[in-house]
Structure 1
Amino acid sequence: MIVAGCLAGLLSLPVHGGTNAAETLLETHLTVPKDRGEILGKILDAADENPAAFATVALMNLDSTVVSGVAADENGVFLLANVAPGNYLLRITLLGYTTLFVPNVTMPTEVTTTDLGIIRLSSTSQDLNEVVIRAEKTMIVSDIDKKIVNVGKDLLATSSNVSELLEKVPSVSLDENGTPMVRGKGSVVVLIDGKPSTLYGNDVATVLQSFPAELIERIEVMTTPSAKYEGEGASGVIDIITKKTNIRGTSGSVRASLGTFQNNNGSGYISYKTGKWALRASGSAQSRQWYFRRELNRENFPGDTSTFFTQNGTGKDRNTNLFGRLGVNYEFNEKNTLGLTLNYSEDKGLNQNGNFNETRSESGAQLEQFDRYTNGTSSGDNINMNLDYRKTFDKERQVFTFTANYSEGDSEGESEFDQTSDFPALVRRQRNLRNSDRKSLFLDTDYTWPITVNSTLEVGVRTRLNRRTSTNSFFLYDLETEVYEFDEDVSNEFGYSDAIHTGYMTFSQKSDAWGIRGGLRLTDATQNIDQSIRQPAFSAHFLMLVPSLAITRMLDEETQIKLNYSRRVQRPQADMLNPFTDISDPRNIREGNPNLTPEFTHKAEVGYSQYKQEGGWGPSLFLDYSNNSITRIRTIDDAGISYSRFDNVGRELSYGFETDVSKKVGEKLKLNASGRVFRSEVVSVAANINNQIWSYSGNLNAFLELPLALRASAYLTYDGPRAIAQGTRQGVFVANMGLRKDFFERKGTLSFNVQDLLLSRMYKSEVSTDSFVQNSLWQRTNRYLGVTFHYRFGKISGSGGEGSDA
């Protein structure tokens, strides 16, 4: 009988989008009338025996009228409760699969459970020679506290790394440095397989740019995360889920791209599974070169008269990245698995730029002028080792997991500054030497306990220990002695460590129509700072409580509404606390603030979703409120020099309407889009700030089938203006296009891509205070044109046996 297996699957995970009625099995035995029973089963992909997660199951009378319906859970398990005796027809649908009708489904009077066993769905497009190729899953799946974006062939064909994938995801955009934002705001926690992405390196943007896109199975975006996830990240959490080795035999892919301006990359992925062992390996190498320009115009009026400062410059960045991953999994038995993964990354950078600086008086007289040229290099590497253990009990939903992760890395850099001027006092040469190293230990334990079939308790504890040291040394060239002399005033030795201990608990309860999940996370964080040159050591301690609540209501088998609330905490990070003075740009100086306190943000959202096979949408109303926002504040001294540092400024509010839409138009055109209309406000009486603005943003992914088996794609996004602490960040528009064709029985894909087609990726900001008004611009000035070939291979066994060709 399949009852035991399906029951184990039914007891797998908490509510998903409120659509899973499977967990009602045991309780309904007590509450359902004696003449009624349950129908249960498990739905699998006919090609690879993987669960057909979130398939829609409709129970129909013989005249095709719908009696009831549910959605299968992540394990493909479904349960139809409170079924009256009779004969029925079952309809099972899932985007990318042929609709399946199961006839002769009988609910006898004399039994309480009808077990349909394993039900297999066939994809709408299959090639069973060597690899299985099927139509893409629904791009967006709505869960109770997240949106899940499945990464299919269309997204892979237009993305070579995770960074390029993320900017196609609803609610997500990238800033000028490539760091993710959610709903136009930074302060986002980025996870990889539930673990902090910073375990792979200090700089999140570099990590995402070096991580190959073909390793990614799906991306989960949580705008109001539950207490199970990190309490940090005022804007939300992004969890990037990598592929696992689920298919017996060998499969993999290779990918190579050639682009303009030496933007090239190559990557490969292979997995092998036999018996109890599963192995996987991947690697990538890429080079990227970008040219850029910057402009800054500032009117300074700290006193009775004004001065006008202008800065214009151009430059280029060139980066090379290497990434490698090796993983092995061993299944002791059906209930115990152990996994070990080793990751290594290496990056090198070259930066060259020059800018013209000039200050004039109100009358137009030149007060000072200099040209500053910079040549810099940087390099770093990171190694990451991860151990995962998973144990399931007699009830499959009762699960214990343990993770241990250790990572370490170091980086170094050198910059030469050559400043020329007609003003002798401004002529100088400087050298900056940088090096840092870091070590991190991450321990995580989670336990899922099915209290009843309708209710689940999840508890977990987590510890993270970080240590980081960095040295930033400036040297000034003495023209008389012709040697570089150490400048202690602007040099820095910075030691940082933290110990973060967290525990969480979430409770989920569900019925056929309702689902609720509430949780609490308690975090104890201690930060230690050793500023050896400029001030003595000190420490800060924070004890933070993060609650969350999510409620869903199913209106029918495809429609739900949900209400979510979460409190987020953003602790000041090491770079924000470091009081080092960065004089790389001597007229725009940056420094940290060791007196920062945590930022607390309240997030609320009311949403509706309806996803059908031909398309759907998910509108929502959202509100984010913070009363202690961490942001950069700029001040001007009497000499017209700008100083910026992080500070807790006051109230920050954002609210509005957002929706995603997916639609298949005819047989040729597929659209995935999202958009929002919102208001952003930053208010601080103490800092004399009152910025408020209405704005709108959106993106569109369009995929069109053309003659000659060609498939075109277009990606358009506009991230609208929003209020910042002392002004406004202007909107950014980006247009990318692509064309692809499949070869070799669809195992190979050749694609042509253009990024920033209109050269419109410009980042502008306007800042205004009582002492200055400033307009700035930063833009990459070369579009990317590239051609990519992607080939997939493999031998699989869909029957669970070893290594036969499928």
Structure 2
Amino acid sequence: MSGTLLDRGTRQPLPFANVLLLRLPDSTLAGNTQTADNGTFTLANVPLGRYVVRTVALGYQPARRVVTPSLTTPAIRLGEWPVVPVAVQLAGVVVQGEKAVLVEDLDKKVINVDKDLNSAGGTAADVLQKVPSVAVDENGQVSLRGNAGVTLYLDGKPASSNLRLDQLPASRLETIEVITNPGARYSAQGTGGIINLVQKKQRQAGWNGEALATLGTRDKYNASLNLSRRVGKFNVFGSVDGLSNRFQGSSGLRQEATAEGRTTSIDQTGRTARHQTNRSLRLGVDYAWHPEQTLTLTTEFYKNDLRHTNNFTTQLTRDTDAALVLHNQNPETDDLYTMRIASNYRHTWEAHPGRELTAGAVYILDGGTVTTAQRVLDGPAGYTQQARRQVLDVTIHMPSAQVDYVHPLDDKRRWGAGLKTDVMLTPGTAEYGVQPVPGAEFIRQEASSYRYHYRQVIPQAYGTYQQKAGRWDYQVGLRTEFTGLQARVLPTGSTSQRLLNLFPSATVARRLPHHEQRLQLSYSRRLNRPNFLQIVALPIYTDARNYVVGNPALRPEYVHVVELGHQVAWQNTTLNTTLFGRFANQAIQSLRIIDTLATRLSGQPDFITRTSYQNLGRTASYGLELSLTHPLTKWWKLVANGSFYRNQVTGYTGSGTRANFTGTAYLLNTFNPTKTLAVQLSGNYRAPLVVPQGRLLAVYGVDVALRQRLFHDRAALTLRVSDLFDTRRQYTRLAAADLTTDLQTKYETRVGYLGFTWFLGTNKPASSIDNQPKGDTGGFGG
């Protein structure tokens, strides 16, 4: 028996609804299931007889249908099943179940953000720390199984290039989906996988929403308002967010280099101050003018500002010469904005269940300036007191359009196809200036200033075929993508690439008897295109002695991904096990070396380092992931996940390999001592990881949080402390020809947050599965 549960008014699918199979005439339970993200459900291996299929979804009237499977009609197709929304009186609500913080499926992992108390007042980066094999560094860079080639989506559409997970408030998100091995209907970009950030959007009738205010220790503030109103064929929704955080930190750097026969060491210790402010506005409307057709329009605007100052002391020692001591200051100012306009059209056919056409278009405009400067506040006469400044001015246009179509051949077979085009245009400038004396105007240095233009066009097409045969499910797909890019830097030169690639994928799954078991084997080929800063030969100065520059000869990295997953559930316990292998060619690696020419031209008794990118042989990671959800008592639930894998990279010299066994671990304890109080205690650990020139040392920490529901579930008070023992810090050790680097960074990670949330309409605290806001999953594909 199969069907698709829909909201009768909006025609939107209803995920996580309960579908019960009751025997007639005694109404005993013969089976049950839950609807998937797209509202579909299946009840398999049902004995012949007479039954009632009953749906239960909070906020909707229960619905029922009588069915009689027989030898002549062994398959019952209920098709699209619209259900009627109804206002729910909170006093009459009976909690039936509880949505978990982390829901593991064989093809993706879903984090329910509101259920994670340790994300209150935090960001999307805080939430992702709970996912197996995911690591987030101090700059918000995400890696999955040691691979940083992760592609970000927002509501199922490409995210802005300015989007940083450590700047996106967790309060704006409904769920985060992590897809480790996407199929052909997903873009091939991202060797590490895809992370889809699903924003909140209520669909209940009338006014609904929530208002949140959070205070953090040492000047950290966050406020947000999410509202929606559904009347008739219209559902209008919107949100406004504001964030202002100040962080303190420390850093230490030791570098030793041998250049032109002389050895110089640099010892730096510093203090950092960072002030981050974000503001955003999001407005949208769903219009269901026909039961089978829905149009969604959304516009968003983000403003991100960052003020970062690093004051440090540098000690320079050259051979046996006396040490030189400098006092430096490196300020950075980021003024960035993003505008995003998206539309999505969905058409279904009631007479042909499962047939669906979706089309969408997105336009993203990123822009702003990044200003970095280096000042010597105090030092010997041999060093100039001039200040240096680089101003990067960038504008990024990213239009895209797609269309997807799914056509069922019968109740067991269907095919799908899609087209998509992504365009990226990036004109910009990088101006380098020198300030002769404090307070004077900066003088533009023509030889170190550049103009650049980057253009990338990626037309894509895909096709998929799915089939069910008893307990077996099969899916195959093929995607083709053409990459055309041109990068020009004036006055240095230009480069271009023209690449056509095929990306096959396949999945075989089998449902096993007993305990709802499922076994799945999947394969896909993917790539990691270098971003424009990795290709454009544009020097960007991180400080007076270190700079980063792109490599015009850089080519995409290609990867083969294989996963074998097993899922089993018994009573309230679920266990997911995944064996995985990821094998990359032309791996893109970041390398730091001594720039001997720049060192000679600087005229200073130290050295200049250059960081660039290179296709460096092959990388591989293969290992095991485990995830367990288990209630120890009625008031104590345990979620444990972890990974253990071998990570292998090519050494920076191009000969030999570097490898180690590494992994991640996460443990979450949820306690419910009373009906209205929830307490969470969690800890995570990332083991040391090798890179081509060295290794990243371990990172670990413990978080604690509690939530008290108030005023008959109209409000909630949340208190949390991140990094309770103040242990999270980043250590990096690198080695190259005649160069060694030890870098330590410690940001302010032990922070206390106090948040208050007021719930509007039928919305209520995230304590159970009932009445949760549905996120706009957008439309993957194309």
**Structure-2-length-normalised TM-score:** 0.87
1:203 to 155, 162, 177: 162
How far apart are 1:248 and its partner, in Å?
1.7
5 Å-filtered alignment, 1:425-464, equals 425-464=383-422
Q: 1:610 & 1:480 partners in 2: Cα distance?
A: 68
Aligned to 1:376: 332
Q: 2:232 & 2:719 partners in 1: Cα distance?
A: 40
Q: Secondary structure at the match of 2:631?
A: strand
2:233 to 257, 276, 288: 276
Aligned to 2:316: 359
5 Å-filtered alignment, 1:404-419, equals 404-419=361-376
Q: Which amino acid aligns with 1:504?
A: Y
How far apart are 1:188 and its partner, in Å?
0.2
Q: In the TM superposition, what whole-angstrom CA distance separates every residue of 1:761-786 from its partner, at most 9, and x where no partner exists?
A: 21111112342222111110352111
Aligned to 1:773: 740
How far apart are 1:351 and its partner, in Å?
1.4
1:576 to 519, 522, 534: 534
Check the 8 A contact 2:693/2:734 in 1, yes or no: yes
CA spacing shift, 1:127–1:699, aligned 2, 3 Å: farther
1:567 to 500, 504, 525: 525
CA spacing shift, 1:605–1:57, aligned 2, 3 Å: farther
How far apart are 1:449 and its partner, in Å?
1.0
1:605 to 543, 563, 571: 563
Q: 2:82 & 2:516 partners in 1: Cα distance?
A: 21
Q: Secondary structure at the match of 2:383?
A: helix
1:297 to 243, 254, 263: 254
Check the 8 A contact 2:118/2:720 in 1, yes or no: no
Find out whether 1:386 has 2:342 as its counterpart.
yes
**Structure-1-length-normalised TM-score:** 0.85
Q: In the TM superposition, what whole-angstrom CA distance separates every residue of 1:454-478 from its partner, at most 9, and x where no partner exists?
A: 1121111111111112212111123
Check the 8 A contact 2:6/2:83 in 1, yes or no: yes
How far apart are 1:157 and its partner, in Å?
6.2
Aligned to 1:726: 693
Q: Which amino acid aligns with 2:551?
A: N
Aligned to 2:139: 177
Aligned to 1:34: none
Find out whether 1:641 has 2:608 as its counterpart.
yes
Q: In the TM superposition, what whole-angstrom CA distance separates every residue of 1:154-207 from its partner, at most 9, and x where no partner exists?
A: 448635443332223333221111122212331100111211112xxx3231xx
CA spacing shift, 1:339–1:271, aligned 2, 3 Å: same
Check the 8 A contact 2:117/2:705 in 1, yes or no: no
Q: 2:741 & 2:199 partners in 1: Cα distance?
A: 43
Q: 2:25 & 2:307 partners in 1: Cα distance?
A: 70
2:242 to 281, 285, 298: 285
Q: Which amino acid aligns with 2:109?
A: K
CA spacing shift, 1:381–1:769, aligned 2, 3 Å: closer
| Deviates further, 177-186 or 320-329 | 177-186
CA spacing shift, 1:63–1:277, aligned 2, 3 Å: closer
How far apart are 1:256 and its partner, in Å?
0.3
Check the 8 A contact 1:312/1:356 in 2, yes or no: yes
Q: 2:398 & 2:746 partners in 1: Cα distance?
A: 35
The alignment yields a C-alpha RMSD, in angstroms, of 3.6
CA spacing shift, 1:771–1:734, aligned 2, 3 Å: same
Find out whether 1:336 has 2:299 as its counterpart.
no
Check the 8 A contact 1:629/1:648 in 2, yes or no: yes
How far apart are 1:44 and its partner, in Å?
9.6
Aligned to 2:276: 319
Check the 8 A contact 2:311/2:330 in 1, yes or no: yes
Aligned to 1:162: 124
Q: 1:113 & 1:508 partners in 2: Cα distance?
A: 18
How far apart are 1:609 and its partner, in Å?
0.9
How far apart are 1:316 and its partner, in Å?
0.8
| Deviates further, 519-528 or 629-638 | 629-638
Q: 1:104 & 1:578 partners in 2: Cα distance?
A: 65
How far apart are 1:608 and its partner, in Å?
0.7
Find out whether 1:53 has 2:16 as its counterpart.
yes
How far apart are 1:709 and its partner, in Å?
4.1
Q: 1:316 & 1:645 partners in 2: Cα distance?
A: 27
Long gaps (5+) in structure 1: 1-5, 11-41, 797-806
Q: 2:6 & 2:368 partners in 1: Cα distance?
A: 49
Find out whether 1:190 has 2:147 as its counterpart.
no
How far apart are 1:322 and its partner, in Å?
0.4
Q: Secondary structure at the match of 1:164?
A: helix
How far apart are 1:725 and its partner, in Å?
1.3
Q: 1:423 & 1:752 partners in 2: Cα distance?
A: 53
Aligned to 1:683: 650
2:197 to 235, 240, 243: 240
How far apart are 1:494 and its partner, in Å?
1.7
Q: Which amino acid aligns with 1:384?
A: R
5 Å-filtered alignment, 1:79-94, equals 79-80=42-43, 84-86=47-49
Q: Secondary structure at the match of 1:579?
A: coil
Check the 8 A contact 1:302/1:772 in 2, yes or no: no
Check the 8 A contact 1:400/1:447 in 2, yes or no: yes
| Deviates further, 166-175 or 323-332 | 166-175
How far apart are 1:678 and its partner, in Å?
1.0
Aligned to 2:721: 754
Q: In the TM superposition, what whole-angstrom CA distance separates every residue of 1:115-138 from its partner, at most 9, and x where no partner exists?
A: 99989999xxx9625999775324
Q: In the TM superposition, what whole-angstrom CA distance separates every residue of 1:561-581 from its partner, at most 9, and x where no partner exists?
A: 111111111111111112122
**Identity rate, percent:** 26
CA spacing shift, 1:712–1:685, aligned 2, 3 Å: closer
